[in-house]
């Protein structure tokens, strides 16, 4: 396991370095951000001074050298927009997004396993059909519309929930954002669980288990599910990485200061230091998710462990 | 049966949660703290950036005050931290400062500390927006004459220095020199308590304030990007004021107020490129636009067709100018006459729009495109992002550019037309495409004049622009919408675009 992790770490480091170089140069291709920061009436001299002060007049390769030497000292630069260290800005936003991603994935995964398994248990029956319709509808629901409609319904009309905000992360503030975020992964995963459970339930080892007189509950949740989980884990990790990259719509509408919104704003304002810092840090998070998924495979499937 | 039980088990905690919410009943603000929901998070809370809308709404006249204040009703200048001012000579103004004023940190407000504050904002080594926007071409040399007398010398005559000082916020003397303070200190009725990035800014009433004690005990600023959410927050009582909501969300006449937001929209005509260098073509452009058809459809029904690039309450606005009527036949006639004289009216003209410059910006340009085509112009529409747009809008202009009509919007809530005319219409103006000797003479004369004379000269200038030069396709004086919780007694005004004085808010 140790060698395996070391090898993964080296691979990830190489791809991360490549990604950073790409982002650095691509971001600068979008041009000098001076015009975005100074008022329209600023004089030409003021514009030149601004570009000079922030190093935008230097050749890109010189700017890259400056970035690397900062990186060597763990300095990710200063946000031009916020006048604060870029790393601070990103590290404030990361826990918010990770919190959203973790809760969403746990709820969606548990829900999908239960609903998907039960649907696969008696395929073609009413519950299966109902589950299919609901999961297909939710896998294709536009989250922007769902979010606004949910606010109008649950906050304005019914007055059950607060409209938005994190409210010190009290539980009532989580319900709508999580609800909106989990719709799509839930729908998708119900479909995947159902498919892979159908295959598992018709396999020889399930028939053997039933012949031995194992209870139905154990057949589904022990024998079939364990095998059926592998594709589900793959899809779930992909979905989790997506949310960890920023649940932009939910963060924007519900006013959760996460990293997705931060990244979009930084790109719009060409706040290069923050773009680079957020990509670096979220890439590290996604690397960790991938490692966890690999470990989960090994735990679930002894064949992988033995190799 | 088993699965039914499982489903029920799953839905139980959700229902319980919802019930708990009903009992908790949302956070209804019934105390005397005003909650303001802004359209975006302030990047920074430094008062030297207070000319930016969402920063000004927190800081300006709440935390830090200015020497003078511009009355949004008529653009007149009233005392704030200065009680009187006089022009000593062409290059010198003298301000008498208010006595007995304290900063929130206990320092005294006096001439010496005013000098420190002015020099901080004007420090050429940093990019304070107040300096770049209002003092880019002016060098101020402030000095303390005695404890309460401040003298400001300038290199060139500045007859409207008292107006300009209405934009200069006075920070405490211990404020860090570099821009980006996270602890703004001023003399205002509210002092800064905290800023939690991503969450909120909190202010509380300053007991040592020199003026009347305001009703609101404090203010809390939060932000949501989505207009529908801001409107919903005021409707549910989670917030008291949403200074800026979209037209489609302003659905409740009891809570929603429209106000002139000091913006005026137009298409800037590049007069240096044929066929736009011919006045008949420019007149035809104005005759070809059906402004009434756009009002209440693409633009709000409350916008007002404009003739001046400044709104009516700005000193120098000329009320006698006539809005261009919609007359496509006249437009065609003018184009034909120009063509007969050899003007290349068939040259392709680009309408260069800017994405999101105001609500429905793209639709407005699409309608304009259709109307101009209808009148016989050869036009194409191109919508660009702000960065590209600014490059084309400001000098230096590209030599190889073609004829362009550029979608623009200008904001002047500073009280005087000087903030507009030099930049947009002077020969050297950084966004001007015209060079007219008469206009430059009027700018020079009016800049040096005061009072009625000054206003009349600006009016003469706007008349010359509108009738003799036609440098724009004028569109509208724009409006903004503010939603206000009925528990407050507050009316938005022109200045709501850049400030929101919590001390003016009363409770019903």
Rounded to two decimals, the pTM is: 0.86
What is the percentage of chain B residues whose pLDDT exceeds 90? 67
Nearest partner of B317 among B491, B126, B106, B465, judged by Cα: B465
Is B23 a residue whose pLDDT tops 50?
no
Question: Sorting pLDDT into bands at 50, 70 and 90, what band is A248?
Answer: confident
Residue B64 · residue B120 · CB < 8 Å? no
Q: Which residue has the higher pLDDT, B30 or B26?
A: B30
Would the CB atoms of B41 and A257 count as touching at under 8 Å?
yes
Average pLDDT, chain B: 89
Would the CB atoms of B127 and A46 count as touching at under 8 Å?
yes
Helix, coil or strand: residue B431: coil
Q: B224 — contact with chain A (CB < 8 Å)?
A: yes
Nearest partner of B435 among B400, B406, B395, judged by Cα: B395
Give the pLDDT score at B332: 95
What is the percentage of chain A residues whose pLDDT exceeds 70? 98
Choosing among A29, A37, A41, which should be mutated to test the B contact, i.e. which has the most B CBs within 10 A?
A: A41
Give the pLDDT score at B22: 41
User: Quick one: closest CA in B to A83, which residue?
Assistant: B180
pLDDT tens digits, A149-166: 999 999 999 999 999 998
Is A215 a residue whose pLDDT tops 80?
yes
Is A40 a residue whose pLDDT tops 70?
yes
Q: Which among A39, A167, A255 is the nearest to B133, CB-wise? A: A39
Residues of B in Cβ contact (< 8 Å) with A148: 226, 228-229
Residues of A in Cβ contact (< 8 Å) with B198: 92-93, 96, 257
pLDDT tens digits, A158-198: 999 999 998 877 889 999 999 999 888 898 899 999 999 88
Taking the CA of residue B200 and the nearest CA in chain A, the distance in Å comes to 10
Residue A98 · residue A258 · CB < 8 Å? no
| DSSP label at residue B399 | T
Q: B232 — contact with chain A (CB < 8 Å)?
A: yes
Q: Which among A46, A96, A148 is the nearest to B228, CB-wise? A: A148
Residues of A in Cβ contact (< 8 Å) with B418: none
Alpha helices in chain A (DSSP H): 2-29, 34-37, 44-53, 60-72, 86-121, 126-139, 143-150, 171-201, 204-212, 216-218, 225-244, 248-254, 259-268, 272-300, 302-306
Q: Which among B3, B17, B198 is the nearest to A257, CB-wise? A: B198
Distance CA A76, CA B173 (A): 32
Interfacial B residues in 398-417 facing A (CB < 8 Å):
none
Give the pLDDT score at A305: 61
Residues of B in Cβ contact (< 8 Å) with A247: none
Give the pLDDT score at B7: 39
Give the pLDDT score at A306: 54
Would the CB atoms of B387 and A41 count as touching at under 8 Å?
no
The domain limits of chain B are 31-39+192-255+485-507, 64-170, 260-479
Residue B216 · residue B202 · CB < 8 Å? no
Q: B391 — contact with chain A (CB < 8 Å)?
A: yes
Mean pLDDT of all residues in A83-90: 93
| DSSP label at residue B6 | H
Give the pLDDT score at A1: 65
Q: B11 — contact with chain A (CB < 8 Å)?
A: no
Question: Sorting pLDDT into bands at 50, 70 and 90, what band is B12?
Answer: very low
Residues of A in Cβ contact (< 8 Å) with B223: 255
Is B9 a residue whose pLDDT tops 60?
no
CB atoms within 10 A of CB B387: 16
Give the pLDDT score at B352: 96
What is the percentage of chain A residues whose pLDDT exceeds 90? 30
Would the CB atoms of A39 and B51 count as touching at under 8 Å?
yes
Q: What's the CATH code, domain B64-170?
A: 3.90.76.10
Mean pLDDT of all residues in B215-241: 94
Cα Rg of chain B, angstroms:
26
Interfacial B residues in 76-135 facing A (CB < 8 Å):
124-125, 127, 129, 132-133
The answer as to CATH 3.10.105.10 being correct for domain B260-479 is: yes
Taking the CA of residue B220 and the nearest CA in chain A, the distance in Å comes to 13
Give the pLDDT score at B30: 55
Give the pLDDT score at B62: 96
Give the pLDDT score at A42: 84
Domains of chain A from N-terminus onward: 94-264 (1.10.3720.10)
Q: Which residue has the higher pLDDT, A32 or B272?
A: B272
Nearest partner of A236 among A227, A244, A248, judged by Cα: A244
Is B4 a residue whose pLDDT tops 60?
no
Give the pLDDT score at B6: 41
Is B247 a residue whose pLDDT tops 50?
yes
User: Quick one: closest CA in B to A82, which residue?
Assistant: B43
Give the pLDDT score at A212: 87
User: Quick one: closest CA in B to A179, which residue?
Assistant: B14
Cα angle value B201/B202/B207 (rounded, 5°) = 145
Taking the CA of residue A224 and the nearest CA in chain B, the distance in Å comes to 17
pLDDT tens digits, B450-468: 788 989 999 999 999 999 9
Kindly list the distances between the CA atom of residue B228 and the CA atoms of A60, B242, B303, in Å, as whole numbers in the listed order.
42, 10, 21
Q: Which CATH class is domain B31-39+192-255+485-507?
A: alpha beta
What is the percentage of chain B residues whose pLDDT exceeds 70? 94
Q: Which residue has the higher pLDDT, B494 or B243?
A: B243
Is B313 a residue whose pLDDT tops 90?
no
Would the CB atoms of A39 and B129 count as touching at under 8 Å?
yes
Q: Which among A33, A118, A166 is the nearest to B199, CB-wise? A: A166
Give the pLDDT score at B407: 96
Alpha helices in B100-179 (DSSP H): 111-122, 129-134, 161-164
Lowest-confidence range among B23-27, B74-78, B146-150, B427-431?
B23-27
CB atoms within 10 A of CB B308: 24
Is A246 a residue whose pLDDT tops 70?
no
Mean pLDDT of all residues in B16-37: 59
Residues of A in Cβ contact (< 8 Å) with B179: 83
Query: How many pairs of residues across A and B have Cβ atoms under 8 Å apart?
Result: 144
Residues of A in Cβ contact (< 8 Å) with B233: 163-164
Tell how strand B304-305 and strand B472-484 pair up: antiparallel
The alpha carbon of B278 is separated from its chain's Cα centroid by a whole number of angstroms, namely 33
């Amino acid at each position: 396991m140790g060698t395996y992790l070391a090898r993964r770490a080296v691979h990830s480091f190489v791809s991360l370095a490549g990604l950073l170089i790409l982002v650095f140069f691509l971001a600068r291709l979008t041009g000098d951000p001076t015009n975005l920061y100074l008022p329209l009436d600023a004089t030409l001299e003021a514009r030149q001074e601004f570009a000079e002060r922030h190093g935008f007049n230097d050749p890109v390769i010189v700017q890259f050298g400056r970035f690397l030497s900062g990186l060597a000292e763990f300095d990710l630069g200063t946000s031009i927009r916020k006048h604060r260290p870029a790393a601070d800005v990103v590290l404030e936003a990361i826990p918010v997004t990770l919190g959203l991603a973790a809760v969403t994935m746990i709820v969606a995964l548990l829900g999908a396993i239960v609903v998907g398994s039960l649907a696969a248990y008696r395929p073609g029956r009413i519950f299966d059909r109902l589950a299919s319709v609901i999961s297909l509808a939710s896998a294709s629901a536009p989250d922007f519309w769902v979010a606004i409609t949910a606010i109008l319904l649950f906050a304005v009309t019914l007055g059950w929930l607060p409209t938005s905000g994190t409210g010190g992360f009290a539980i009532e503030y989580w319900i709508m954002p999580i609800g909106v975020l989990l719709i799509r992964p839930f729908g998708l995963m119900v479909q995947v669980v159902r498919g892979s459970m159908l295959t598992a339930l018709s396999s020889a080892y399930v028939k053997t288990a039933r012949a031995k007189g194992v209870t139905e509950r154990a057949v589904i949740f022990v024998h079939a599910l364990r095998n059926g989980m592998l594709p589900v884990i793959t899809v779930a990790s992909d979905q989790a990485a997506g949310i960890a990259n920023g649940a932009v719509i939910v963060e924007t509408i519900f006013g959760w200061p996460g990293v997705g919104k931060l990244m979009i704003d930084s790109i719009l304002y060409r706040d290069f230091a923050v773009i680079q810092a957020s990509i670096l840090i979220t890439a590290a998070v996604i690397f960790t998710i991938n490692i966890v998924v690999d470990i989960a495979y090994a735990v679930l499937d002894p064949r992988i462990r033995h190799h | 049966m088993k699965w039914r039980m499982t489903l029920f088990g799953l839905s139980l905690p959700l229902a319980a949660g919802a019930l708990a919410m009903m009992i908790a009943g949302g956070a209804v603000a019934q105390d005397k703290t005003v909650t303001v929901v802004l359209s975006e998070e302030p990047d920074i809370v430094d008062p030297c950036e207070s000319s930016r809308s969402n920063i000004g709404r927190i800081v300006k006249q709440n935390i830090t005050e200015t020497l003078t204040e511009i009355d949004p009703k008529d653009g007149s200048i009233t005392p704030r931290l200065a009680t009187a001012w006089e022009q000593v000579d062409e290059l010198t103004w003298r301000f008498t400062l208010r006595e007995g004023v304290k900063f929130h940190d206990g320092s005294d407000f006096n001439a010496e500390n005013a000098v420190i504050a002015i020099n901080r904002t004007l420090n050429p080594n940093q990019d304070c927006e107040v300096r770049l926007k209002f003092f880019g071409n002016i060098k101020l040399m402030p000095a303390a004459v005695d404890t309460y007398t401040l003298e400001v010398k300038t290199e060139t005559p500045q007859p409207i220095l008292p107006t300009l000082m209405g934009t200069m916020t006075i920070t405490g003397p211990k404020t860090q020199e570099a821009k980006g303070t996270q602890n703004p200190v001023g003399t205002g009725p509210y002092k800064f308590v905290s800023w939690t990035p991503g969450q909120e800014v909190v202010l509380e009433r300053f007991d040592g304030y020199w003026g009347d004690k305001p009703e609101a005990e404090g203010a809390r600023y939060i932000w949501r990007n989505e207009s529908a959410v801001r409107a919903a927050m005021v409707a549910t009582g989670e917030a008291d004021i949403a200074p800026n909501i979209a037209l489609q969300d302003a659905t409740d006449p009891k809570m929603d107020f429209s106000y002139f937001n000091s913006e005026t929209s137009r298409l800037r005509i590049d007069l240096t490129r044929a066929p736009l260098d011919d006045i008949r073509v420019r007149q035809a452009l104005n005759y070809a636009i059906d402004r009434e058809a756009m009002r209440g459809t693409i633009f709000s029904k409350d916008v007002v067709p404009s003739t001046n690039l400044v709104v009516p309450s700005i000193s120098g606005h000329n009320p006698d100018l006539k809005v261009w009527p919609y007359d496509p036949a006249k437009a065609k006639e003018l184009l034909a006459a120009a063509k007969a004289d050899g003007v290349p009216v068939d040259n392709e003209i680009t309408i260069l729009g800017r994405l999101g410059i105001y609500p429905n910006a793209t639709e407005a340009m699409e309608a304009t495109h259709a109307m101009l085509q209808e009148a016989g112009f050869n036009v194409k529409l191109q919508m660009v992002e702000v960065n590209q747009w600014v490059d084309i809008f400001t000098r230096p202009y590209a030599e190889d550019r073609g004829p362009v009509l550029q979608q623009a919007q200008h904001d002047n809530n500073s009280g005087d037309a000087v903030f507009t005319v030099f930049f947009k219409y002077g020969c050297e103006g950084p966004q001007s495409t015209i060079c007219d000797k008469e206009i430059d003479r009027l700018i020079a004369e009016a800049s040096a004049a005061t009072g009625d004379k000054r206003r009349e000269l600006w009016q003469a200038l706007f008349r010359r622009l509108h009738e003799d030069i036609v440098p724009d396709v004028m569109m509208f004086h724009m409006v903004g919408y503010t939603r206000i919780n009925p528990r407050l007694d507050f009316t938005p005004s022109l200045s709501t675009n850049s400030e929101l004085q919590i001390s003016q808010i009363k409770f019903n």
